Amino acid sequence: MRMRPALALDAPRLAWIEQTQPLSAHWGEKGFAGEVANAASRIWCWEENGEIVGFLALRLAAGMCEILNLAVLPASCRQGIGFRLLAHALRDARARGAETVTLEVNVTNLPAISLYTKAGLAEWGRREKFYNGTDDALIMGIHL
Ligand SMILES: CC(C)(COP(=O)(O)OP(=O)(O)OC[C@H]1O[C@@H](n2cnc3c(N)ncnc32)[C@H](O)[C@@H]1OP(=O)(O)O)[C@@H](O)C(=O)NCCC(=O)NCCS
């Protein structure tokens, strides 16, 4: 078990994990490859038995960090992996000079909202009918 940053060759595995979780961002293989190549981005991966089972992607610029994508394989959920990824990402963002971390989440995504709340994030705003013209988006954030 270990945490590590994603490499370009991880893009197919990350895209596959994302497909198992409909509520993730759906970047696809090209999207992940682009983020790995972007100096402002970082994708943290959690490995078990040599295979990635969860990831968290963020961008950091001008002291502001935004979490853009997060998913854990269904078979590996509820084992603390999402929390470990998020806690690690917050520590790393702080060490790299971030003062705030924000993200956007569908108001109906209760597991993710519960995870973010457990990690100390709070509701900072709301975009009405943001998803498919029906569900609101919550903007959640934390001052580091
Ligand atoms: C959200 C997600 C990453 C959580 O990953 P996970 O590894 O299962 O989370 P953890 O086991 O670390 O759980 C940490 C906390 O999250 C919350 N949580 C996780 N799954 C939950 C569920 N099914 N129902 C309610 N709360 C849940 C709980 O607060 C939990 O703390 P607890 O164990 O003390 O109750 C995972 O469910 C996922 O991939 N979801 C689909 C993709 C997604 O929604 N991404 C975020 C888009 S904004």
Residue 132 pLDDT: 87
Residue 25: other Cβ atoms inside 10 A:
14
Residue 97 pLDDT: 96
d(CA 64, CA 58): 10
- For ligand 1, atom 21, which residue shows the shortest CA distance? 111
Strand pairing partners for 104?
139
Cα 15 to averaged position of ligand 1 atoms, centre (Å): 19
* Element spanning 14, H or E: helix 11-19
Q: Is the CB of 110 under 6 A from ligand 1?
A: yes
Task: Report the predicted TM-score, pTM, of the whole model to 2 decimal places.
Answer: 0.97
* pLDDT, tens digit, 9 for 90 and up, residues 84-98: 999 999 999 999 999
Tokens 């060759």 belong to which residue?
9
Average confidence score pLDDT of the chain: 97
At the fourth CATH level, which superfamily is domain 2-143?
Answer: Gcn5-related N-acetyltransferase (GNAT) (3.40.630.30)
Q: Is the CB of 115 under 6 A from ligand 1?
A: yes
Q: Is the CB of 138 under 6 A from ligand 1?
A: no
* pLDDT, tens digit, 9 for 90 and up, residues 34-60: 999 999 999 999 999 999 999 999 999
Mean pLDDT (whole number) for 102-111? 97
Q: Is the CB of 78 under 6 A from ligand 1?
A: yes
Tokens 């960090």 belong to which residue?
65
Mean pLDDT (whole number) for 73-79? 98
d(CA 90, CA 119): 9
